[in-house]
Amino acid sequence: MLHSNIIGYLQTHSHRFLDELKEFIRFPSISAQPAHTADVARCAAWLAGHMRRIGMENTSLIPTKGHPVVFSEWRRASGRPTVLIYGHYDVQPPEPLDEWRTPPFEPVVRGDYLFARGATDDKGQMFAHVKALETLLAVDGRLPVNAVCLFEGEEEAGSTGILRFLAENGDKLHADLAVISDTLMPSPERPTVIYSLRGSIGLELEVTGQRHDLHSGQFGGMVRNPVQALCEIIARLHDAEGRIAVPGFYGRVKKLSDTEKRYMSETGPSDAELLENAGTEAGWGDARYTLYERTTVRPALTVTGIAGGYQGPGSKGEIPARASAKIDIRLAPRQEPLEIECLFRLFITRTTPPEVRAKVSRYSSVSPVEMNPSHPIYRAVVKACLRGFGGKPLFRRSGGSIPVVTALRENCGIPVALLGFGLADANMHGPNESLYLPNFIRGMATSIHLMRELGRFTT
């Protein structure tokens, strides 16, 4: 239980906390839209000022090529662990605007919810940690652990700045646990800890044929059509069972033990649940695995975009000179991005018809991350959730990829707890994004409990 003076502080100041969150949300810190560069900067300055006011130390704006990282720390708990709190103060574009009931950057409370862009993703979730820091510093005059905050302003636009910062300075961070609240929970009482992420490779495959577009009447039937060649290559990327047909692709993919299969089936979503989330009746893919397994411990190859030739209304009689596809490969734990990219390139070379040329370009590459849900550091997370939310957290794998997590875990060697308390219907990237206010309070309490639990460890 929390001390009564902590509860008292939370009760006395909860209205102010909400007002401050609204102030934070009113900055249209849309990182992907150049027109909002100044808003992102103002938001960063506001956040840095706020960190200073609550008593955090060495607060600074770390410049990047894009938007700054807000850095802040408190390192007076000598001999105690260090917790790194990551969050992002930038938001997704709010469009389409006409689908919002109230303007996206004018936060409004309706019932138990606060509606605004960024309410859950990620201003609301990260601010719960900020207010936890404030509460502990105000009531106890100190923190039970050392703390480092890294709040970036480019999460919705590629995280370039913070990734470079971590690559250059990660080894100096020396944290024992990174806490990130930027994910979802399946029901309001069940916070969720993600302990495994897939990696990803973003590629483009371009097929070119003759020098110019050609008249499909005059030349149709005598030249290779790059669109058709591209389709044929793509069709060969999977076998009839829905497995990726690139030789060697599954070489490093771990065979699931029975224990692991059982653990996943007990903790993970059912096929029916995932199909409902996907809004479809029919699953697809390697039938030897459940849908949860297919999307987390098995790799996937998705053509996310394809383009070639005429795409407007009606038709146009031309054989296009080129066609291209965007390919998104999701890597299962232990797969190596470079190796997979190599195997993919070899396969493309082998399957490209002789009359056309294929070119593969890479946009991005992120290693998969897998943490052990039995790691002792997670026990503190479980206890904190039990006390803050009244329920044990779910430990789940995710099929997504978070470059910052890969950087923290793989490059900087910091274990990461992805502790999400956004509701599944929070509409994080859509109109009428909301924050379930009881979870804002529970998030703060959980953060306070987590720091206290970690404070019991010595280093």
- What part of residues 400-429 is at the interface with a second copy (CB under 8 A)? 400-401
Q: Cα separation of 342 and 347, whole Å? A: 9
**Do the Cβ atoms of 347 and 197 come closer than 8 Å?**
no
Shorter beta-carbon distance to a second copy: residue 357 or 383 = 357
> Is there binding between residue 288 and a second copy (CB under 8 A)?
no
Nearest approach in angstroms of CB 161 to a second copy is 16
Residue from 212, 258, 266, 458 touching a second copy (CB under 8 A): that is 212
Residue from 328, 336, 339, 341 touching a second copy (CB under 8 A): that is 328
Q: Give the 3-state secondary structure of residue 419.
A: strand
C-alpha R_g of the chain = 24
> Is there binding between residue 250 and a second copy (CB under 8 A)?
no
Shorter beta-carbon distance to a second copy: residue 283 or 438 = 283
Shorter beta-carbon distance to a second copy: residue 120 or 146 = 120
> Is there binding between residue 65 and a second copy (CB under 8 A)?
no
> Is there binding between residue 254 and a second copy (CB under 8 A)?
no
Nearest approach in angstroms of CB 302 to a second copy is 4
> Is there binding between residue 187 and a second copy (CB under 8 A)?
no
Q: Which of 173, 202, 77 is nearest to 459 (CA)?
A: 77
Shorter beta-carbon distance to a second copy: residue 251 or 305 = 305
**Do the Cβ atoms of 236 and 301 come closer than 8 Å?**
no
Q: What is the distance between the terminal CA atoms of the chain, rounded to a whole angstrom?
A: 25
> Is there binding between residue 278 and a second copy (CB under 8 A)?
yes
Sign of the alpha-carbon dihedral angle for 216, 220, 226, 231: positive
Nearest approach in angstroms of CB 290 to a second copy is 9
Q: Give the 3-state secondary structure of residue 169.
A: helix
> Is there binding between residue 256 and a second copy (CB under 8 A)?
no
User: Which one of 80-88, 123-131, 144-152, 299-307 is the stretch in contact with a second copy (CB under 8 A)?
Assistant: 299-307
Nearest approach in angstroms of CB 190 to a second copy is 18
**Do the Cβ atoms of 129 and 85 come closer than 8 Å?**
yes
User: Which one of 14-22, 78-86, 102-110, 301-309 is the stretch in contact with a second copy (CB under 8 A)?
Assistant: 301-309
Q: Which of 216, 214, 232 is nearest to 322 (CA)?
A: 214
> Is there binding between residue 228 and a second copy (CB under 8 A)?
yes
> Is there binding between residue 306 and a second copy (CB under 8 A)?
yes
Number of chain positions touching a second copy (CB under 8 A): 78
Query: Hunting for tokens 């105690």 — which residue is that?
Result: 80
DSSP H helices in 352-396 = 377-389
Q: Cα separation of 244 and 435, whole Å? A: 39
Q: Which residue type does 163 have?
A: L
**Do the Cβ atoms of 151 and 70 come closer than 8 Å?**
yes
CA 387 to chain centre: 26
Nearest approach in angstroms of CB 34 to a second copy is 14
- Restricting to residues 106-165, name those near a second copy by CB under 8 A: none
